[in-house]
Amino acid sequence: MKDLLKKISGIRQLLGSVDLDQVAKLSQKVDLPKMVGLVSKMSEEDLSKMMGMLKGGGKPKEIPPVNGDFYELGKMLPHHEREIQLRVREFMETEIKPIANDYWNRAEFPMHIIPKMAELDIAGLTYQGYGCPGHSALLEGFIAMEMARVDTSISTFFGVQSGLAMGSVYLCGSEDQKREWLPSMQRLEKIGAFGLTEPEVGSGVAGGLTTTCKRNGDSWLLNGQKKWIGNATFSDMTVIWARDLDDNQVKGFIVRKDNPGFLAEKLKDKMALRTVQNALITLTNCEVPENDRLQNANSFKDTAKVLRMTRAGVAWQAVGCGRGAYELALAYTNERKQFGRPIASFQLVQDLLVTMLGDLTAMQTMVFRLSQMQDSDELLDEHASLAKVFCTLRMRSIVDHARELFGGNGILLQHDIARFVADAEAVYSYEGTKEINSLIVGRAITGHSAFV
């Protein structure tokens, strides 16, 4: 009798471990009381063999690792650069991932991570000299991707510092200015921002800046407003682009944070990149010494050189945001069960995953080639613009599909994917909208400018 009870409890355990729908189907086909009778006559060994068979041989199903780099492009980096990529990945997984949603939710920036990020020695990655490591643009792209793969806000903070702000000094500054700013910005001891966009002028900045500068002896007076300026609420310096009232050309200035004519107010209630601190800057007779005018920025063409370089980085960011979303979705589809099976086992779900992976792989191979062109000095505006347009469009589609696969959980911040969906919207619009970048490519391929 004791034996029989043990066996019945074994059957209960077994039935408990199989799906209830399967039990219901089984009971329609099998005479369960008769089966219990038969089972009660089985030896312990036979019973455990049968349980093993019913459980699929006792071996848990092997799930392939989640990997959004399907063509293994990361492996094409030279060994020492691949190591840096993986160090950044580890930093993002251990230091940023656990806090990303909390800071995003509170719309605060995690200032404490800056010294830890500095230890990675990756700011100003491609610049030569001034304490910068002089690595390839390809590695820089991979780093932007790794950051955005976990938290697009952090990659935006870094892109503003290393690309837009340091890049303005590197490409447009004098030797003295480079020596003063680049080493400390490389170590993230000094933080920078880049002020180009204005409340009334975004896409039309090339010809339409309303912020003005006017020479006044050994200094300049700046007046106007800048909107959306990332990092500017706490940056030590902000590069301000302004139109010279005398020659009508765009000039660049390094404005220090304690300048009395400089006011940076945090933009509140954003629905994307909430961790990034974007500011509305008001310049009121802001006096800047001639020494702080970027000595090699003489027209908007010089501003555009900075944007060409950083636009490639934004395309990589879009890859990272898409890759993070795809990988989250793939992992979730194996964890989440419906109808007694992981949702990953449904054909329609696999179709979505493969569509996402196809887009992601096309994006990755495109930016890989883009960075190679940057490294061989062949990169033109239209090359960077095409990548920005294509990758941000595909990113939007990927995060959309990823959210879909999370069902209702897709709108809960705790599942991360909602943050990716929201953040993708900002990446889609900044550094030139889809329309503006399309017009840049359109002009290059047709020979006709269609901006106005």
Binding of ligand FAD at residue 197 (CB under 6 A)? yes
Site string for ligand FAD, 257-276 (x = CB under 6 A): ----------------x---
Cβ contacts of 80 within 8 Å, gap of 6 or more: none
Nearer to ligand FAD, 405 or 418 (CB): 418
Characterize the bridge pairing of strands 237-244 and 192-195.
Answer: parallel
Q: Taking CB under 6 A as the rule, does residue 81 contact ligand FAD?
A: no
The single residue among 85, 177, 278, 392 that binds ligand FAD, judged by CB under 6 A, is 278
Q: How many residues make contact with ligand FAD (CB under 6 A)? A: 21
What lies within 8 Å, CB to CB, of 164 at 6+ separation is: 192, 193, 194, 230, 239, 306, 310
Segment contacting ligand FAD by CB under 6 A, of 59-67, 107-115, 188-196, 407-415: 188-196
Q: How far is the CB of 195 from ligand FAD (least distance, A)?
A: 6
Rounded (10°) angle between helices 347-375 and 300-335: 150
Give me the amino acid identity at 265: E
Eight-state DSSP code of residue 293: B
Among 169, 430, 440, 441, binds ligand FAD (CB under 6 A): 430
Among residues 91, 142, 158, 194, the one that binds ligand FAD under rule CB under 6 A: 194
- What's the min distance (Å) between Cβ of 336 and ligand FAD? 31
Strands 278-289 and 219-230: antiparallel
Q: Does 300 bind ligand FAD (CB under 6 A)?
A: no
Shortest Cβ 391–ligand FAD spacing (Å):
16
Interaction of residue 397 with ligand FAD, rule CB under 6 A: no
Question: Of 358, 377, 318, whose CA–CA distance to 141 is shortest?
Answer: 318
**Nearest to residue 392, comparing CAs of 431, 365, 353?**
431
CA 322, distance to chain mean position in Å, is: 8
Q: SS3 letters for 87-152? A: HHHHHHHHHHHHHHHHHHHHCCCCCCHHHHHHCCCCCCCCCEECCEECCCHHHHHHHHHHHHHHCH
The interface region with ligand FAD, picked from 45-53, 177-185, 189-197, 320-328 by CB under 6 A, is: 189-197
How near is the Cβ of 19 to ligand FAD at its closest, in Å?
46
Contact at 8 Å (CB) between 82 and 74? yes
Phi/psi zone of residue 431: left (φ > 0), alpha (ψ -120 to 50 degrees), beta?
left
**Pair 333, 344: CB distance under 8 Å:** yes
Any contact of residue 229 with ligand FAD (CB under 6 A)? yes
Residue in 372, 415, 433, 444 binding ligand FAD, rule: CB under 6 A:
433
Strands 278-289, 262-266: parallel, antiparallel or unpaired by DSSP?
antiparallel
β-pairing verdict for 132-133 and 128-129: antiparallel
Identity of the amino acid at 401: H
Which CB sits closer to ligand FAD, 101 or 361? 101
Residue 127: HSE in the Cβ half-sphere, 13 Å Cα cutoff = 27
Stretch of residues binding ligand FAD (CB under 6 A), selected from 62-70, 194-202, 246-254, 388-396: 194-202
From 66-74, 102-110, 131-139, 433-441, give the range in contact with ligand FAD by CB under 6 A.
Answer: 433-441
**Smallest distance from ligand FAD to CB 48, Å:** 60
Nearer to ligand FAD, 143 or 165 (CB): 165
Tell me how crowded residue 298 is: count the other CB atoms within 10 A of its CB: 15
367 binds ligand FAD (CB under 6 A): no
CB of 435 to ligand FAD, least distance (A): 3
Name which of 368 and 430 has its Cβ closer to ligand FAD: 430
Smallest separation, CB 160 to ligand FAD (Å): 5
Looking at the Cβ atoms of 139 and 288, the one nearer to ligand FAD is 288
User: Of residues 40, 203, 295, 296, which one binds ligand FAD by CB under 6 A?
Assistant: 203
Query: Using the rule CB under 6 A, is 426 a contact of ligand FAD?
Result: yes
- Which residues sit at the interface with ligand FAD, rule CB under 6 A? 160, 194-197, 202-203, 228-230, 273, 278, 426, 429-433, 435-436, 451
